[in-house]
Amino acid sequence: MSDLNRIEPIIEEIQKQREGIEYWIPIIEDDFEFQGQRFDDIDTLKDFKDTFSGIMEYREQWENIYTQTKSLIKIYKDNNIKIDIEKFEKEVVDLEEAYAKLENILLKKYREENVSDFSISGTKRVARKIGLKIKGIPINSNSIAEGFMVEELEDDVDEYVFGIYKENALLNNVDRIYEELEGIVDTLLREMLLIKEYRKEVYNAYLYKQIDKINAYAPEMEYKLDLEDEPLYQWQNEAYQKWTENRYKGTFEVATGCGKTKFALYSIHRIKEQYKDIKVKIIVPTKALMDNWYDSLVQKLHIPTKYIGRRGNNRNEKKREITIYIDKTAQGKFSADFIGTITDNMVGNTNFLNFIVADECHHYESPQNIKIFDKIDYMPKDQQTGINYFSIALSATLPSDYSKNGKLKKYLGDIIYTYSFIKALGDGIISPINIVDVSYQLSIEEQKRFHMYKKELADAEKELTETLSKYNINFSQEGISSLAYYYLKEFEDILNYISEKKVEFEQQYGDKDWKIYFDEWLYEFAGRNEEIALSVKNYIGKFERLKRLLLNAEDRKKRCIELVKRHIDDKVILFGEYIKDIEEIYLELASEFGSEKIKLYHSQLDKAIKEKTIQSLKLDTTKVICVPTAFDEGVDIPDMSVGVIYQGKRSKRQQVQRLGRIMRKTKGKKSAVMYNLSNQSFGEPKFLDRFIEEQLHLLETMNDAEEKVEKIRKQLSIEFINYDEEIENSNIINKLIKKIRI
């Protein structure tokens, strides 16, 4: 019944937020001038920054706070406890009115910065084109009125990204067209408020302007980190030293949550001290990471926003000292900007050096993405230093063969520093980790199918190895699955063509005879590639069937649900591999614990629903989140203490990413635990089997003091629960629950 004491503080907080908004609204509306008085002294600006940041955070949580409070009111009613519902409802109405006023003002200011004036061209009677241009505003085609066109602009001089216009309109209709354009823009802006990441962009656009004013009071801090309040970790100093010794190029593999971004910011800080004329180019895979970097540059490195550009996701800001690119749009723009630096140096008699940061650099190893960097070797070397550009590549999960076969190292440098999670444990940067492999068993019927599928897979593997040997293709037995998936993609067109021909023969010759004629055609048609493609398809089909049997075993699912139930009051991420499978478990858990406590998160859900889920985690109203694969990189989720892997790949990268979601250290967090459902007797490896072995071997070879090594041993525990041990009464789980709840 402790929840009954929570509603009054919630109402008080609603009132406090509303009063804060109402206080700042007239000052914001008049750009920090109110009743003839300026309000832009440093103390007022800092107060605004703190208050406005709090308003933003509460705004993001508001929908969930409201839902939570309504649930508490129901508890009051069910327990016949009197409560002033009218007071709550009045405060809610007043707060939402305050938000509406504030957001009207913020949208107006955002529009001024991101929407052009109307333009008109044509003859005296007929306008060839009437329209306007926008930037920083996502286009929703459903919101574009009939008869209007949207044009993507190429390198507009004012950095607008889209043009919205009507062609061949009579000039006597201009006023009406202007009104329609106003309506379109207003709708697009209003839609931004419905999606968290864009609403945040509207709020931040104003906040960053005021932070610019704060930073202007301390120009000596421009491009500098505040290392007194937040000193570097030892690894960050060591990594910087390695980077300088390697002539300012290198790849860094650093465990999740250990400060990769801060290391890159510090490197920019130091290089800017030595070389005044640098152009920083940061490449990221997602908008969330673009926003995170922009925020860090403004708030941590104290860089004026006018010096920072964004290219991609409705932005095309050029000619800045620092530019952030999203990889999907970076290829042409990055190369053009890189070459542009050379041209600028020649024309302006300057000597700018480029500084490249590739965040989550494992994304850029693909044949398409690696083209982003194919022009950077054109940069001439600086005469004094012999350096043509600085580069830092960052990742927590590099491919295992990166040093041998990595394409990116040619441009940005090989791995020169690794900071493993075992070292991070020793330094106290991440939470102590408990890894528990939980075995399950197959039913008698499942075992029969397992042995039948396994035999058929062995036959398919034998056929595939014979086909590969026939055509002198080198392979290892251990890597045959990876090779098969490679060829499945490589020969996709061939397999599609064969499937189409199969349908033709079925239609032409009927159920009885089609296969005879089809096999004759195939015998005549098939050459090397067709034979390999068909062998690969047969092997993959058998492999996937066996894999699905294990991933959907009844006891696996049962034990997974039991694990979640044991931790129902902790913060849990349940990882799956397929949306359909994870939805089944979600529905079963939600039916018992409610859809507020258990949430689902996957790519096919509406963005607004996913954002609401993240906020409910932050508010602690949701305890368990069910996800296939993993969260997107850059998505900010509250710290979780328990992971349960229902299904997963053998990929080290996926497993390390999942581990990273629970091992971030936060205030009050004592420990984290990762459960992995597998059965070694069916060929499934333990969680991070080789990786953990490598880390333990590293521990044995560490030169650190014996005391530190012993400390690390205590912070990394590896346990095993056999299939015949009950989850409900497991002593191992009982101990772990005590550990994480201390």
pLDDT of 575-589, one tens digit each? 999 999 999 999 999
Report, as an integer, the average pLDDT of 425-450.
92
3-state secondary structure at position 122 = strand
What share of the chain in percent tops pLDDT 70? 94
Q: What is the pLDDT of residue 193?
A: 93
Query: In Å, how far are 351, 655, 674 from 436, measured between CA atoms?
Result: 56, 13, 6
Residue owning tokens 């699905």: 548
CA 412/CA 389 separation, integer angstroms: 9
CA 243/CA 416 separation, integer angstroms: 7
Report, as an integer, the average pLDDT of 475-493.
86
Q: What is the pLDDT of residue 2?
A: 45
3-state secondary structure at position 692 = helix
Q: Which amino acid is at 394?
A: L
Q: What is the pLDDT of residue 3?
A: 47
Q: Give the pLDDT band (50/70/90) at residue 385.
A: confident
- Judged by average pLDDT, the poorest of 489-493, 681-685, 716-720, 732-736 is 681-685
Q: 406 near 373, Cβ under 8 Å?
A: no
- What CATH architecture does domain 433-441+553-741 belong to? 3-Layer(aba) Sandwich (3.40)
Q: Give the pLDDT band (50/70/90) at residue 212.
A: very high
Report, as an integer, the average pLDDT of 357-366.
90
Q: Give the pLDDT band (50/70/90) at residue 151.
A: very high
Highest mean pLDDT among 18-32, 503-517, 654-668: 18-32
Q: Give the pLDDT band (50/70/90) at residue 401.
A: confident
* pLDDT of 665 higher than 90: no
pLDDT digits (tens, 9 = 90+) for 609-624: 887 888 888 778 889 9
Q: Which residues pair with 280 in a beta bridge?
A: 322, 355
Both tokens of 457, joined, read: 């897979």
In order, the DSSP letters of 452-490 are HHHHHHHHHHHHHHHHHHHTT----GGGHHHHHHHHHHH
Helices 689-701/706-715 angle, 10° precision: 160
Q: What is the pLDDT of residue 196?
A: 84
Q: What is the pLDDT of residue 633?
A: 59
Report, as an integer, the average pLDDT of 712-718.
83
CATH superfamily of 222-419: P-loop containing nucleotide triphosphate hydrolases (3.40.50.300)
* pLDDT of 490 higher than 60: yes
Helices 85-114/42-78 angle, 10° precision: 140
- Which helix (H) or strand (E) segment is 671 a member of? none
Query: In Å, how far are 105, 166, 186, 346, 676 from 181, measured between CA atoms?
Result: 20, 9, 8, 43, 55
CA 370/CA 372 separation, integer angstroms: 5
* pLDDT of 4 higher than 50: no
Q: What is the pLDDT of residue 1?
A: 39
Report, as an integer, the average pLDDT of 660-676.
87
690 or 47: which leads in pLDDT: 47
Mean pLDDT estimate for the chain? 87
CA 271/CA 280 separation, integer angstroms: 10
Report the relative pairing of strands 642-645 and 572-576 from DSSP bridges. parallel
In order, the DSSP letters of 47-68 are HHHHHHHHHHHHHHHHHHHHHH
pTM of the predicted model as reported, rounded to 2 decimal places: 0.84
Both tokens of 482, joined, read: 């990876």
Q: At 629, phi and psi to the nearest 5? A: 55, -110
Report, as an integer, the average pLDDT of 158-179.
86
**Smallest Cα–Cα separation from 213: which of 25, 29, 31, 20?**
31
Angle, CA of 484, 488 and 491, to the nearest 5°: 130
Highest mean pLDDT among 30-34, 544-548, 685-689, 706-710: 544-548
Q: Give the pLDDT band (50/70/90) at residue 379.
A: confident
557 or 120: which leads in pLDDT: 557
